[in-house]
Each structure stands twice: as C-alpha cells, then as structure tokens.
Structure 1
Amino acid sequence: MLDVGTIYLVATGALLLVALGVGVRALVAIFREGRERSRRRREGEIERYTEDPVYDREPPDPDADETAPSTCPQCGAENDGEFTFCRECAAPLGPATD
C-alpha cells in the first residue's frame, strides 16, 4: 500500500513538471518575440529607440558624457552620472521641476 509521503512526492513531482512545461513555453515565446523584434529593427521596420509613453523619456544621447557626477537638487549629495535617482534621498536626478 502507498503511504502519504509517496503520494505527496508523486503529486509534487507532477506539479513541478507541469510548471516546468509552462515556464519553458513562456520562455520560448519571449525568445521568439525578441528574435522577431531584432529582425524588424535590422530591416528598418521599427526604430531602435522610440519615445517611452509611460515615462516620457528621450532616447539616450550617444555623445553625452554620462560619467560626469551630478548633484541632487533635493539634498545636494554627489551622485555618479549614470544614476537616475539620488543615492542618499532617492529623489529623481535631473533638472529641478519646482
């Protein structure tokens, strides 16, 4: 007769295999979509950088020096140029909007 521990292991193993199958399907779909986007970029169907409607961000300027330190407008702390938020107070870095 089967004990509870064996049934538990078999059920857990089956659920893990189902989860693995679903996860692999999702990863394959993500990989295919990325490959398709890369192909469309290479062929000029879509732009490399587009405006981000959620954050209203501009495409990065390849000539800009992002390593220059910046000063936080909120607390005055010095931050590395690639930081978007202050390391001390977590305020957004950039031009003051006040």
Structure 2
Amino acid sequence: MLGVGTVYLVATGALLLVALGVGARALVAIFREGRERSRKRREGKLERYTEDPVYDRDPPDPDAAGETPSTCPQCGAENDAAFTFCRECAAPLGPERVTND
C-alpha cells in the first residue's frame, strides 16, 4: 500500500511536469516568433523600430493649457500641474490637501 507522502510526491511531480511542459511550449512559441520577426526585419518587411503611441508621446506642455507647475506645500518640490501627489514626498497637492493639525 502507498503512503500519503508517496502519493503527495507523485501528484506534485506530475503537476510539475505538466507545468514544465506548458512553460516549454510557451517559450518555444516566443522563440519562434522572435526568429520570424528577425527574418522579416532582415528582408525589409518589418521596420526595425516601430513607434509606440503610449510611450513615444511628448509630455504635455503645462504652459499650453494655462497650467503652471505646482509647488509642494510640505517639501517645496516642483511638480507637474497634473500631479495629485508630490513626486518627492507623496504629500497631496491641490485643493484636496490634507493638513496635519
């Protein structure tokens, strides 16, 4: 008869093998996609670098919208007008400031 510890080890080992198989399939798919993209770049079918609309944007100009940078009342650091909290000390900025009285 098999003990509880043996059954546990066999079940854990089987689950680990299944996870390893799924992970290996995902890594092989990623590797194949990378090779395919490299081949397309070499052939000129794909640009080397594509623009990312989220990260390649210019930061908003605070003067264009009439907003000026705000100064933190707690530490004096200058923050963008769009910030709700200070970038240095994390103190609240704007009309909803919390005072420590």
TM-score by length of 1: 0.57
1:65 aligned partner: none
1:56 aligned partner: 56
Q: Which amino acid aligns with 2:56?
A: D
* Cα distance in 1 between the residues matched to 2:32 and 2:39: 11
Aligned residues: CA RMSD: 2.2
1:11 aligned partner: 11
5+ residue gaps in structure 1? 59-74, 77-87, 90-98
Cα deviation, 1:73-94, whole Å, max 9, x if unaligned, reads xx59xxxxxxxxxxx94xxxxx
Larger radius of gyration: 2
Quote how far apart the aligned CAs of 1:56 are: 2.3
Quote how far apart the aligned CAs of 1:50 are: 1.2
Q: Which has the higher contact order (CA 8 A, sep 6+)?
A: 1
Kept after mapping to 2: 8 A contact 1:51/1:57: no
1:70 aligned partner: none
Q: What is the aligned length?
A: 63
Structure 1 segments of 4+ aligned residues over 4 angstroms from their partners: none
Cα deviation, 1:42-88, whole Å, max 9, x if unaligned, reads 00001101111221259xxxxxxxxxxxxxxxx59xxxxxxxxxxx9
* Percent pairwise identity: 82
* Cα distance in 1 between the residues matched to 2:46 and 2:57: 18
* Cα distance in 2 between the residues matched to 1:41 and 1:57: 24
* Cα distance in 2 between the residues matched to 1:57 and 1:42: 28
